[in-house]
Every structure is written in structure tokens, then in C-alpha cells.
Chains A and B, each alone.
Chain A
Amino acid sequence: MVVSGRRRTELLRGVLDLCLLAVMQEGPTYGYEMTKRLRARGLSMVGEGSIYPLLARLERDGLVETYRSASNGGPPRKYYRASAIGQEALATGVAEWRAGRDAVDAVLSPVDVEVKS
């Protein structure tokens, strides 16, 4: 459905930066590995915006720190990890997300409709 796809994209757009900061909590990582970590949690980037411009913005805003290091047998990669400001932003963002999610849940939970396939 086009509408639900668009809604998913818009929702993701609002929290993708938090998701990236969250997967960096598992350890420094590079671009492709981040998409793998997201996918492992059910968050596919197919049909969504790219993480690369977002990573660049996080770096420019000082929310992540980067360094270059050789990957496993591959070429040197740019690794990202959350900076102190980034960790603070993640904590704030997660709290905002949970508050928003709970409020929306309070509205939507009583709705009892079945999705027609």
C-alpha cells in the first residue's frame, strides 16, 4: 500500500539518526556494517533514504567521531562511533521517542480493526 509505505518512510526519517547512534553503541562500525545491523533488527533500507548523507550530517554536527581502519581483509574503512554529544542526543531522542510512542499507542491501542490482506 502506497500510504503505509510513505508513513513508514516518514516515521523512519524522523528516527533513523537515533537508530544509527543506537547501533554504534554496539561498537564502532562502518557504513555497510551499519545497514547490516539495522537489517538484523528488521529495518531494511530498501525503499528508504540512504544512511550516508545522514552519517555525514551526524559527523558535521559532532554527534559522531570517525577514524579510518582496515576492515577484515578489506580496504580501510571509515568507522563511526557516537561522541559524548551523540550519546547525550541518543538518550534524549530515545526518551522523546518513547514518550511519543506511548502517547500514540494510547490513542491507537483501543482501535480494534483487522488488516485485510
Chain B
Amino acid sequence: MTEFVDACRQEWKRLGVPEAVANEMAADLDADLDEARAEGVSAEEVIGSGVFDPRSFAAEWATERGVVPTPAPTLVEDRPAIPAPKTRNRTLTIGAVTAAAVIAFIGFALAIRHSGSVAVTRVVGPLKPFAPPRVEKWPVPFAVHGPGTPMHGIGVVLFLAGVAVLIAAALYWSRRARTTH
């Protein structure tokens, strides 16, 4: 059996062509190629341009015979096991920018929430001469507040980091847009 027929057989097997049909096609092809070879005729004269691409030739033949179960399985190398580099990079960039925006938002919220509004006070009673007014703090949901607290610092750091990433992404995209146009 020639290398060409062998390649066709492999393709038929991959496509799920019934073995009996594949055997029949292989035998016919083999006999024709043998006869041509004996007469000094090239394989291209028998098979046409398909001789350069046995897999396509075999697939087309089997499809025309109606012996390929549908849908035909995809070649492993044809199937994108992992996204193409360009698509993967774009996905990663969008993910990074989204994460940076979320981090910046959380940081901003933390920094504002713990920004030291403890000094807010109100006078709750009438001013009386010779007596200090009654003062209460309002409202005080957390025990520790203020610009110097750890939560405030963490918030500021997160906010700045997020904003830095967003600015870097914006610069990168603007420079890339300039180079592509």
C-alpha cells in the first residue's frame, strides 16, 4: 500500500468512516495507482491536485460518498486548545483593568470611610451660663477612625495602586493606538 493510500486510510479512520467502506475505497485507489505506476503514469495524473494533500482528498471523497458521520470530528491541531495569543492577551488586559478598577474603588471607599470624621460634634442641650454644654459624638459606628488608622492607610494604598494600573493601561492603549494607525 502506498504512503498516499495509507494517509487516506488514517483520515478516514479519524473521520469515523466505516471500516468496510474505507477498505473498499483504499483498495480501489491502490489498484488504480498500481496500474498507473505500471504504465509509467504519475499519481497526479490519476488523483489530480489531491495528490499533494491526501487528507483533504480523503475527506472530500468520503464526504461525497456520504459516509462521514456528521458533525465530523475536528482535528486536534485545528482545535484551539488555548486561545490565540492575541485573544489571550486581550482577555488578560481586560481582566487586569477590571481588577484595577475594582481595587481602586474599594481603596477609595475604605479611605473615605475611615477618613477621620470623628470631630463632628453637636450641641444637644441649651447653653446654660456657668455650665459647659453637653456634647456627644455623632455618629460613631466604629471604634477606630481617622487618617492615621490602618484601614485608612490600606484604602489609600489600594486606591493609588488601582489608579496607577488604570493610568498605565490607558497610556499603553493610547501608544498602541498611535502605532497601529
Contacts and interface: CB of A to CB of B under 8 A. Distances in A.
Interface of A: 30-32, 35, 39, 44-54, 56-57, 59-60, 71, 74-75, 77-78
B99 interface: no
A49 to B, nearest CB: 5
B94 interface: no
A54 B27 contact: no
A81 B132 CA distance: 119
Contact of A30 (B25, B32, B45): B32
A46 B65 contact: no
Given A35-B45, A49-B48, A57 B64 contact: yes
B9 to A, nearest CB: 14
B57 interface: yes
Given A32-B35, A59-B65, A52 B29 contact: yes
A110 B31 CA distance: 48
B61 A32 contact: no
B35 A45 contact: no
A53 B49 contact: no
Contacts of A74: 31, 34-35
A113 B104 CA distance: 75
B6 interface: no
Contacts, number: 73
Given A32-B36, A57-B64, A60-B64, A50 B48 contact: yes
User: Taking chain B's interface residues, is the majority helix, strand, or loop, or is none over half, making it mixed?
Assistant: helix
Contacts of B57: 50, 52-53
Q: Which of B24, B34, B46, B61 is most buried by chain A, counting CB atoms within 10 A of its CB?
A: B46
Contact of B49 (A47, A54, A75, A77): A47
10 contacts: A30-B28, A31-B32, A32-B31, A35-B45, A46-B48, A47-B48, A50-B49, A52-B61, A56-B61, A75-B31
A31 B45 contact: no
Interface residues on B, range: 20 to 34
Contacts of A78: 24, 28
B79 to A, nearest CB: 25
B15 to A, nearest CB: 14
Contacts of A31: 28-29, 32, 46
Interface string B121-147: 000000000000000000000000000
A53 B64 contact: yes
